């Protein structure tokens, strides 16, 4: 089963699916290089021991289970249903062999996501997972320490191998934890994010039938932020806040919002107020996401050369979030059907962005370059969310 099927089958709410897709998607995270940050040396170290581990994996897993059976709490979990122990041992065997095989592809990621979700569905508590994992790691380290000298490894080589092993195990454990985290621990955050998206869709539904624009546009923002080099937290913040960019459209009358032709000057003046109205709705909140949403609502039509609205801000006076949103918003609008225009192809949309709106005119050149670098990922997101 591939990653997207796994996520679809996991029966999560769409916004959580998006979040997890982004966390786990090999399209959005260069898994080897960026997330795991395994060096070539780490990989070589792990390759030195993977055959030894796979030859002895049954022995090691048996030791793990002996340990787990010593405690009533874990024993109860293991014996909660017939066949659980055998199944668990089998899964653990594949799991650890895979971990040390260095193939961190979609199947690997899907497997980790599945594991977190499976544990949740059969009520395996997070501490059981963490304790077992940590214990297994200590077993592995002992085993390596004992075995490797006989295979003519020097002490410093053994230490390096153990370091690399700990690194991969910690990162791997974090991945599974993310599945727990996204489904269970942060219910409050999930609810408020869910609410933000629904609220944003109220405005979107009026001039666009499905609300898919905000799903796509917010993912584009996140991806562009990633290519700009911003950290995961900022990427997540902009993912959550950007759907609110047009929330002020709620105050724009239908005859303007839904007008198929060009707006008159007076109508356009009214249309422009969706920025300040959006800001009014979202500002004065304690929530950092709402604050960012307010900033985006106010600034997503400001252009780099000062020709935008509502204030005609120029260059870096425009908040970063607004400078990211404008390119993502315009690209998706060009690429989608609107009452006043057909949907342009990706190629055409990119051409219009490059040649007509231009770098330095509408867009911050640095952000423009990041967006162009992110094009392949952006097209992949677009193809996933076409309705
Ligand atoms: Fe807007
Ligand atoms: Fe928009």
pLDDT at position 151: 77
Q: How far, in Å, is the centroid of ligand 2 from the Cα of 151?
A: 62
pLDDT at position 197: 72
Query: In the CATH hierarchy, which fold is given to the domain comprising 3-185?
Result: Globin-like (1.10.490)
Give the Cα separation of 44 and 300 in Å (integer). Answer: 47
Give how far Cα 216 sits from Cα of 85, 95, 335, 376, Å. 43, 34, 11, 14
Q: How far, in Å, is the centroid of ligand 1 from the Cα of 307?
A: 15
DSSP string, 147-166: HGGGGT--HHHHHHHHHHHH
Give the Cα separation of 227 and 221 in Å (integer). Answer: 10
Instruction: State the 10-residue block means of pLDDT for the chain, 387 residues long.
Output: 55 57 49 57 87 90 92 84 78 80 70 69 74 88 86 86 85 72 54 72 72 86 92 81 92 90 94 96 87 96 96 97 97 86 89 83 94 90 71
Q: How far, in Å, is the centroid of ligand 1 from the Cα of 27?
A: 28
The Cβ of residue 338 has, within 10 Å, a number of other Cβ atoms equal to: 13
Three-state secondary structure string covering 48-95: HHHHHHHHHHHHHHHHHHHHHCCCHHHHHHHCCCCCHHHHHHHHHHHH
Listed in sequence order, the residues at least 6 apart from 293 whose beta carbon sits closer than 8 Å to its beta carbon are 196, 241, 242, 244, 245, 247, 282
- Say which ligand is closest to the CA of 309: 1
Q: How far, in Å, is the centroid of ligand 1 from the Cα of 248?
A: 8
The vertex-301 CA angle with 280 and 333, nearest 5°, equals: 115
- Say which ligand is closest to the CA of 279: 1
- Say which ligand is closest to the CA of 211: 2
Domain extents in the chain: 3-185, 195-384
Q: How far, in Å, is the centroid of ligand 2 from the Cα of 245?
A: 7
CATH architecture, domain defined by 195-384: Orthogonal Bundle (1.10)
Q: How far, in Å, is the centroid of ligand 2 from the Cα of 63?
A: 56
- Say which ligand is closest to the CA of 338: 2
Listed in sequence order, the residues at least 6 apart from 69 whose beta carbon sits closer than 8 Å to its beta carbon are 75, 78
pLDDT at position 193: 67
- Say which ligand is closest to the CA of 243: 2
Decide if 327 contacts 199 (C-beta within 8 A).
no
pLDDT at position 29: 43
CB-count burial class (<10 Å; 0-12, 13-18, 19+) for 154: exposed
- For residue 354, the 8-state DSSP code is I
- For residue 317, the 8-state DSSP code is G
- Say which ligand is closest to the CA of 220: 2
pLDDT at position 184: 47
pLDDT at position 244: 92
pTM, 2 dp: 0.56
Virtual torsion, Cα 249, 250, 256, 261, nearest 10 deg: 50
Bridge partners of residue 359, in order along the sequence = 363
pLDDT at position 103: 73
- For residue 306, the 8-state DSSP code is S
Q: How far, in Å, is the centroid of ligand 1 from the Cα of 356?
A: 19
CB-count burial class (<10 Å; 0-12, 13-18, 19+) for 51: exposed
Q: How far, in Å, is the centroid of ligand 1 from the Cα of 230?
A: 24
Q: How far, in Å, is the centroid of ligand 1 from the Cα of 334?
A: 13
Give the Cα separation of 223 and 277 in Å (integer). Answer: 27
CA 249 to chain centre: 28
pLDDT at position 41: 87
- Say which ligand is closest to the CA of 213: 2
- Say which ligand is closest to the CA of 334: 2
pLDDT at position 37: 63
Q: How far, in Å, is the centroid of ligand 1 from the Cα of 275?
A: 7
pLDDT at position 278: 94
Give the Cα separation of 50 and 102 in Å (integer). Answer: 9
Q: How far, in Å, is the centroid of ligand 1 from the Cα of 288?
A: 21
Which protein residues have a CB closer than 5 Å to ligand 1 (ion)? 246
- Say which ligand is closest to the CA of 246: 1
Q: How far, in Å, is the centroid of ligand 2 from the Cα of 8?
A: 26
Q: How far, in Å, is the centroid of ligand 1 from the Cα of 231?
A: 26
Phi and psi at 359, nearest 5°, equal: -75, 135
Phi and psi at 36, nearest 5°, equal: -80, -30
pLDDT at position 22: 59
Q: How far, in Å, is the centroid of ligand 1 from the Cα of 277?
A: 11
Q: How far, in Å, is the centroid of ligand 2 from the Cα of 2?
A: 31
């Amino acid at each position: 089963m591939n990653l997207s099927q796994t996520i679809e089958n996991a029966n999560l709410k769409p916004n959580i699916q998006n979040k997890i897709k982004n966390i786990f998607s090999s399209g959005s995270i260069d898994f080897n290089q960026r997330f795991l940050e395994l060096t070539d040396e780490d990989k070589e170290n792990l390759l030195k021991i993977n055959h030894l581990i796979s030859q002895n994996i049954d022995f090691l897993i048996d030791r793990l289970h002996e340990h787990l059976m010593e405690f009533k709490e874990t024993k109860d979990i293991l014996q909660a249903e017939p066949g659980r122990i055998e199944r668990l041992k089998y899964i653990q065997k594949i799991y650890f062999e895979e971990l040390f095989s260095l193939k961190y592809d979609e199947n690997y990621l899907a497997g980790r996501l599945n594991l977190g979700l499976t544990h949740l569905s059969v009520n395996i508590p997070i501490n059981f997972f963490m304790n077992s994992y940590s214990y297994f790691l200590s077993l592995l380290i002992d085993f390596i320490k004992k075995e490797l000298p006989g295979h003519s490894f020097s002490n410093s080589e053994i230490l390096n191998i153990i370091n690399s092993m700990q690194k991969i195990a910690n990162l791997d454990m974090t991945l599974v934890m993310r599945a727990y985290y996204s489904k269970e621990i942060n219910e409050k955050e999930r609810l408020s994010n869910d609410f933000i998206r629904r609220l944003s869709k109220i405005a979107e539904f009026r001039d666009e039938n499905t609300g898919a624009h905000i799903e796509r546009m917010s993912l584009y923002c996140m991806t562009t932020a990633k290519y700009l080099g911003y950290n995961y937290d900022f990427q997540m913040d902009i993912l959550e806040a950007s759907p609110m960019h047009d929330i002020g459209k709620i105050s724009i009358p239908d005859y303007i919002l839904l007008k198929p032709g060009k707006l008159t000057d007076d109508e356009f003046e009214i249309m422009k107020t969706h920025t300040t109205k959006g800001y009014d709705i979202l500002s004065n909140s304690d929530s950092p996401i709402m604050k960012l949403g307010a900033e985006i609502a106010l600034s997503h039509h400001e252009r780099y050369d000062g020709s935008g609205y509502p204030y005609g801000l120029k260059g870096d006076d425009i908040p970063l979030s607004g400078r990211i949103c404008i390119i993502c918003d315009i690209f998706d609008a060009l690429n989608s059907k609107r009452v006043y225009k057909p949907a342009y192809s990706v190629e055409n949309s990119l051409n219009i962005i490059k040649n007509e709106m231009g770098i330095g005119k509408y867009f911050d050149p640095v952000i423009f370059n990041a967006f162009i670098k992110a094009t392949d990922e952006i097209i992949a997101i677009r193809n996933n969310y076409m309705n």
